[in-house]
Amino acid sequence: MKFTDYHISTELKTNLEKLGFRRPTDIQFKAIPPVLNGEDVLAIAQTGTGKTAAFAIPVINKIQSAKKTGRKTNIRCLVMVPTHELARQIAGVFISLAENTGVKILALHGGVEQAPQIEALQQGTDVLVATPGRMFDLVSQGFLKLDNIEILILDEADHMLDLGFIKDIRDMMRFLPVKRQTLFFSATINPTIKKLAYSLVNKPIRIQISPKNPVAKNIEHSVAFIEMDDKRAFLERLIGQHPDAKILVFVRTKVRAERVKSAMERVEILGTTIHSDKSHAERTRTMENFKKGINKLLIATDVSARGIDIPDVDIVVNYDLPEVAENYVHRVGRTGRGTKKGLAVSFCSSGEKEILAQIEEFLGHEIPVLEVDMGLYNQIVDFSLDTNYNWKKLMKDHEKEQADYLKKKKKK
C-alpha cells in the first residue's frame, strides 16, 4: 500500500511525497487507519520505526478536515513528551507534514523564556507538543487551557515514567475533557506502563511491532570485554579505524561524559558532550552540529537516547553499559534507522558482566563477543596516544618491575 492510496488530504499527500514518504512502515500501516477512525490506540514500537509520522499524519488530516467545517477550537491535540529535544523534534515532523494544510503547531518546553511561548499560544495553535514541566507552569499561570483537547498523545511513555512523570500525567487528566481520543506510544511495555496505559485509553486498538525482537534487525551488535581504565584506549582505536564515521558514545554520568571528552582531546580527537547540565541553547547547538556532521563524535548520557532522530549515525558505542537493560534498546536505536545499516559496540568491564546478562535476557539472545586476545589488548593499551594515560601505565609497570625485583632479591 502507498500513501497515495490513503483517504487523506491532497496537501498531506504532496508533503509526504516531498519528504520521500511513499510506503508506510509497519507501525504507520497499523496505526493510521484506527487513528483516522477516531479510535484509541495503544502502540508498542521500537525506536526508529516511524511512529511519529504514524500519529502525525492522521492527526493533521483530522484537524485539517475539522478546520474546513469552520469549527474554531484552540489546541485540538496535545502531544506529551519527556524531553526538550523530543518536543522540538516531534514539532518539526508535524510542521513538515502540515505545510499548506493550515494546521498550526507549537513546541512548548522549558530551558527557554516563556514569554514568546505565551505569545504564540495567544495567537492560537492546533497541535501543542509539550513537556510536563513547562506545560503545568503555564496551566497554573492561566495562560494555557486544555479543556478543548480532542486528541491526547503520550509519546515515549516509558521514558516519562523513568523520569518520574507518572504523577504529572495523572494530574494532567484533571484538565482534559473526559471525551477525547487517546493515543499511547511506548518503546517498551511492563506492568506499570500497562496499568497506566489502560487507565487512560478506552477500548484501544493494541499494536505491537516486533515484540520478540526489540532492536532493529539491521544493527550489527558486538561486545568486547574491556576493563574500565582501558576503555578510553579502545575508544581511541575504534575512532581511528573509522575516521569518517558519525559516532555516538553513551556513558553513565555527566562527569564521565566530560572525562571521556577530555581523554579524546588529549589524543587529538575532538568531540562534544550532551547531558542535563548543559543549557537548552548548548544542547540544541550540539545536536544540530552533530546532525549536520560538523561534529562527528558525540558523548552523551541517556538524556539523548530516547526518541531523538539523529540521521546517519554510523556507530553507537556503549562506553558504559546502561544500568537499566531496556535503555540498551534506546541507545542502539540511534543507528540502523530505517533501511540503513548500523553498528553497536559495547565495552563491558568485569564489574558490568551482571548488567550484560540482564541486557541479553531482555533481548532474548546473547550479544556476539568481539574476541580480543591479550597480545592485541595490551598493544592497544600500550600504543594509546594519551600521554597522561601512558604515564599512569608506566607507573604501574614500574611498580610491577620493582615488586618483581624485590621478590627475586628475597629468593637469593
Calculate mean pLDDT across residues 277-302.
Answer: 87
Asked whether the predicted pLDDT for residue 191 surpasses 80, the reply is: yes
Asked whether the predicted pLDDT for residue 395 surpasses 60, the reply is: no
- CATH level 2 (architecture), domain 219-394: 3-Layer(aba) Sandwich (3.40)
Quick one: DSSP state of residue 100?
T
Q: How far apart are CA 256 and CA 264, in angstroms?
A: 12
Checking DSSP bridges between strand 151-154 and strand 181-186, what pairing results, if any? parallel
Q: Strand, helix or coil at 173?
A: helix
Mean pLDDT for all residues in the chain: 87
Of the ranges 172-186, 278-292, 324-338, which is most confident? 172-186
Cβ density class 46-70: b for 16+ within 10 Å, e for less: bbbbbbbbbbbbbbbbbbbebbeee
Q: Convert the pLDDT of each residue in 338-359 to its tens digit.
A: 678 899 999 999 999 999 999 9
Identify the band that residue 213 occupies on the pLDDT scale cut at 50, 70 and 90: low
Q: What topology is assigned to 3-208 in CATH? A: Rossmann fold (3.40.50)
Closest by CA position to 227, among listed 292, 319, 115: 319
pLDDT, residue 325, reads 85
String of DSSP letters for 229-290: GGHHHHHHHHHHH-TT--EEEE-SSHHHHHHHHHHHHHTT---EEE-TTS-HHHHHHHHHHH
pLDDT, residue 284, reads 82
Asked whether the predicted pLDDT for residue 256 surpasses 70, the reply is: yes
Q: Do domains 3-208 and 219-394 have the same CATH topology?
A: yes
Asked whether the predicted pLDDT for residue 47 surpasses 70, the reply is: no
Closest by CA position to 331, among listed 339, 342, 322: 322
Determine which of 46-60, 204-218, 277-291, 392-406 has the lowest per-residue pLDDT on average. Answer: 392-406
Q: How far apart are CA 202 and CA 181, in angstroms?
A: 8
Residues 175, 139: contact at Cβ < 8 Å? yes
Higher-confidence residue of 278 and 272: namely 272
Domain coordinates in residue numbering, the chain: 3-208, 219-394
Percent of the chain at pLDDT > 70 equals: 89
Beta bridge partners of 223: 346, 369
Residue the block writes with cell 515515549:
156
pLDDT, residue 130, reads 94
